[in-house]
Amino acid sequence: MLIEVQNSILRMVAQGDDLEATLATLCRQLESLLPGTRTSILTLDSHGLLHPCAAPSLPKAYSAALDGILIGPSVGSCGSAAYLQRVVVVDDIESDPRWAAFKGLAEAAGFKACYSSPIFGSRGLVLGTFALYFDEARGPTALEQSVVEGCLPLCMIALERHERYLERERLAYTDALTGLTNRAKYNKDLKTVPCSGWSLVLIDIDNLKSVNDTFGHAAGDDLITAVAARIANAASTLRSYRIGGDEFAVIVDDTDIDPADLAECIGRKVSLPATCGEHTAFPTVTIGIAHSRAGLKVAEVRQNADIALYHAKEGMRGGVLIFNAALTTAISRRVEAIHKVAAALKDNRVEAWYQPIVRIDTGDIVGVEALARIRTLDGVIVPAAEFFEATKDAQVAAALTRRMIECIARDVGGWLRLGIPFQHVGINLSAADFSCTDLPESLESAFRQEGVPLHHAVLEVTESVYLGDRDRRVAKKIASLRASGLRVALDDFGTGFASLTHLITVPVDIIKIDKSFTDLLGPNDPGTSIVEGILHIAKCLGIRVVAEGIETREQAKLLLERGCVLGQGYYYSKALPPGQICELLRERGQRLDKVSALNDTLNRLRGQSGSNPERGVA
């Protein structure tokens, strides 16, 4: 019969059955073989603490009371057996000093005697204990001892197989670099969260790429490791995970802590200086939070947290954003815009329209700014403002710029071949364009194909492109473009966070004063003083200025009085399609003889002399 028991248990072990189920089956089978006994199997952890594993016939309260007991020479039968590493027979619990602290438990369970054996592993370490309890004061019979001895190897096999399984699982679910649990465990744990009452906190390291590019990937790994340790410290007993290269997650039980408080704690601890190789970094993280609620699926909470993190990274790096329904609306708008632009690019429905840039004193057109338009299938023209969200997608933005360059080269080439007076066209670049390796080669190729000299192009870069440019990728690219002979304009000047710094660190040829300042022009308005200051700085730096958004004659007059010679806006013309702008240029385009005169005027305003008609006025 013992052989049958051994075979059934070995079969369960080989099948990979659950450890507790396997050993509970062993206990029940032995109790059938040995009437008048009740069995218990305890495991021993690395800290010397006992834990119930299988005891199907013992009161649950009794087993629970043994959980976490530290082994010792006088800790009942099992605690003593594990500590002494030998069999311990207690034939009378009532009188045995080793049971002095546990007599009440034994009496409540009806136990009079206990026979416990240590379970040794293949390396000689104690893995746990196997005990027989008796309802009367007595020692084990020879049969009982023989059966227990025959089953101890089964316990060893089952326990060691389970340890190997746990180790494989630990390796499978542990991130090798940080020691945190990994994405696989994250996905698994999300399947067991309750329907509500929990939150998901997603954390992204800011500017990890800059550290990798500047100091090397070893320093980047040090930064990831330092941030991971600080997240784990802040999360304490909560489940924290590394789910991507620079992204982490914490699953929060809302009854334990407010997720916003946790996020604040994580941000504070992470921001301390960190040693990365031979360098010191000052890490920051951006955090997105989503709360669960009744009826909301885990996948939806997860998506909401992703949306919150995405928006936080885009608009408030280093901050915390909690998901709300408005964010979903913004994402929907962006997705719709991306699809709209992608379809227009595929169907060749993207067009370049042009807004004139004029001499304020004469009204002559000295250049144009190219603006993207989409023509719908039924012929309606869609302005850029309606699909601007799409340009935040790097792939769409880059494709749109390439298409615009093709349109601009074709249009300008046609104007020049017709002898239309034309000086320059402003071409807007997005942040995505500075990640492309074919700029300015794609521009040069398109212009060369249409026979358009490059000096007709002015590349317009908004101040927002500079934000987050900590690795100076954009600055280096702009310097390279200017070195190749292209002119660069800083668009929407005054709306960024460090406008004057940009002029010092990344020299440009032209600045375009944002419409928000033009709107504030007035005899006693502070906006006038700001515009005067910008014009003075530009004059000192030898940078030309274009005022955007001129809508009234009064605005034009105030700008001219303060030395601003160039402007654009609805006062002169809205953006027009190529055919109409061609006619407007034919009528009002500035002739070359006037270019020299205007350059002399600009030079006099700067206190200089001479002119450079080949470069034009802007």
Secondary element (H or E) of residue 68 = none
The fold of 183-323 is Alpha-Beta Plaits (3.30.70)
Cβ atoms within 10 A of the Cβ of 100, count?
Answer: 11
- Which residue ranges of the chain lie beneath pLDDT 70? 466-472, 495-502, 505-506, 592-618
How many CB atoms are located within 10 Å of the residue 213 CB?
Answer: 14
- Could you tell me which residues come within 8 angstroms of residue 241 by beta carbon, excluding any fewer than 6 positions away? 175, 180, 181, 182, 183, 185, 186, 189, 248, 249, 250, 251
Q: What's the confidence (pLDDT) of residue 496?
A: 56
Q: Do domains 183-323 and 350-606 have the same CATH topology?
A: no
Q: Are 458 and 424 in contact (CB under 8 A)?
A: yes
Q: 350-606 is classed in which CATH architecture? A: Alpha-Beta Barrel (3.20)
> Regarding the domain with residue range 2-172, which homologous superfamily does it belong to in the CATH classification?
GAF domain (3.30.450.40)
* Per-residue pLDDT at 442: 86
pLDDT digits (tens, 9 = 90+) for 246-286: 999 999 988 888 999 999 999 999 999 999 888 888 899 99
pLDDT value of position 295: 79
58: Cα separation from own chain's centroid: 51
- Give how far Cα 218 sits from Cα of 366, 439, 471, Å: 52, 30, 17
CA dist 51 and 129 (Å) reads: 10
pLDDT in tens, 282-326: 899 999 999 998 778 999 999 999 999 988 887 788 899 999 888
pLDDT for the residue numbered 498: 47
Which residues are bridge partners to 280 per DSSP? 275
pLDDT at 470: 54
Can you give the residue ranges of every domain in the chain? 2-172, 183-323, 350-606
